[in-house]
Chains A and B, each alone.
Chain A
Amino acid sequence: MTIGTGRSDNLAELLRASGEVLTRRWVELAAEPLRGRLSVAELERELADLYAAILAGLDTGDRDPNSDAFAEVRALLSEMSRRRARAGFTPSETAVGVFTLKRAMFELLDQAEIAGGLAEVVAFSLLLDAFGLWTFETFAKAREEVIDEQAEQLLELTTPVVKLWDGVLAVPLVGTLDSARTQVVMEKLLESLVTTGAAHAIIDITGVLAVDTQVAQHLLKTVMAARLMGAECTISGIRPHIAQTIVGLGIEFGDITTKASLADALRHALRRAGVDLVAGDRRG
């Protein structure tokens, strides 16, 4: 247990005694720049929790923003910044939640005397500055997370796994294949085999402009992994220049089935699945 220095109790006491007034003013100041994009009730709840945590920290007599005494404060601030970042607020709109407490406190100090004097106020003020910076940092981290997630979602969107027939899946790949994207496709396709129970998959690369060694290796590994899982995988739509690249790179496609077009690959898969294709008898 940490024992308070005695003097620090006074600021903590003042903050506790005027808690209600102070938080009301704090919410008022903090709500202003947010212009109604966050409900007052929500803000009140956030700031009340934060206030309680700050008081609890001050009670220990500790004034180091990185100490255990303020772990709860830091956790609450991280959560708050994360929510703000996700909701599209700016970093200043987020940090203002902390800095406005300082303003509310200064207004209050105008009307009250505390025994600790200037030193206490400065220490508390520095503490709040540190917390303000903390929100910046967690805000930035949260934004980066959001960007990463969006990049991943985009990747997912550009590589759909489609069902062509009962038990036959296909991934039409379009554009430039890099190693990371190929890997994502490979995992997604294999997952889809499990979820749909499809025993045939077609990777169609008609729309692919170029492949390098790594990408070709990933495609090969996908086919081999599918085989280990008990599914058959065909690669279709290899363009002439890509075929030349593959041969030029010395990559062995071995006994992997390749077909000129997606239609050929589908016909092959259906035959393997025991589906008979019969030309329709057209009448009238």
Chain B
Amino acid sequence: MSGVERIPILKIGDVLLASIQVDLQDRDVLALQEDLAEKISATGAHGVVLDISAVDIVDSFIGRMFATIAATSRLFDAHTVVVGMRPAVAITLVELGLTLGEVRTALDLEKGLAILAGLAGDRAAR
């Protein structure tokens, strides 16, 4: 039995970036949720980017993680963007009937960061 796979979380400016490169076990998913919540609260980051361009399946459990991370980050006044979802994964999620709630999505990291920068601008204006 392998241990929990910790997804590394990078901090780029005001944004936390978690790039998922492994086939996620349910406990890895839960660990990432916890790690991100702690990191957001510790750093005061205004945004979270989940890069899933290497992920070839997203089931309802992983999908719920996105929604949970987004909801948690809202409590710290931060937004979550999921980037790089593959077409086959997106088609499957639609068929599965999964909606991602407050999660925003972008085609790639660059566009994801641009969305967060826009939202941060709104925050500064408030």
Chain A positions near chain B (C-beta within 8 angstroms): 186-187, 190-191, 193-194, 197, 199, 221, 224-231
In the complex, what's the smallest C-beta–C-beta distance from A7 to chain B, in angstroms? 58
Q: Count of chain B residues with Cβ under 8 Å from any Cβ of A?
A: 19
Query: Which residue of chain B lies nearest to A191 when distances are taken between CB atoms in the complex?
Result: B87
A191-B87, A230-B107 are known contacts; what are 5 more A-B pairs with Cβ within 8 Å? Answer: A194-B86, A227-B105, A228-B85, A229-B85, A229-B105
Binding site for A on B (CB under 8 A): 82-83, 85-88, 90-91, 93-95, 100, 104-108, 111-112
| Residue pair A229, B94 in contact (C-beta under 8 Å) | no
Decide: A230 and B87 in contact? CB cutoff 8 A.
no
Given A186-B91, A187-B87, A224-B94; A194-B105 close (CB under 8 Å) = no
Contacts A197-B108, A229-B105, A230-B105 given; indicate if A221 touches B91 (C-beta within 8 A): yes
Pairwise interchain contact B87-A190, C-beta atoms closer than 8 A:
yes
How many angstroms between the C-alpha atoms of A226 and B105 in the bound complex?
A: 10
Chain A neighbourhood of B105, CB < 8 A = 227-230
Contact A228–B111 (Cβ < 8 Å): no
Contact of A194 among B91, B94, B107 (CB under 8 A): B107
| Interfacial chain A residues near B88, Cβ < 8 Å | 187
Task: Provide the residues of chain A in CB contact with B90, threshold 8 Å.
Answer: 190, 225-226, 228-229
Contact A229 B87 (CB under 8 A): yes
Chain A min CB distance to B12 (Å): 19
Q: Are B87 and A199 in contact, CB atoms less than 8 angstroms apart?
A: no
Nearest Cβ on chain B to A16's Cβ, whole angstroms: 52
- Chain B residues with CB below 8 A from A231, complex form: 107
Given contacts A194-B86, A229-B90, contact A221 B111 (CB under 8 A): no
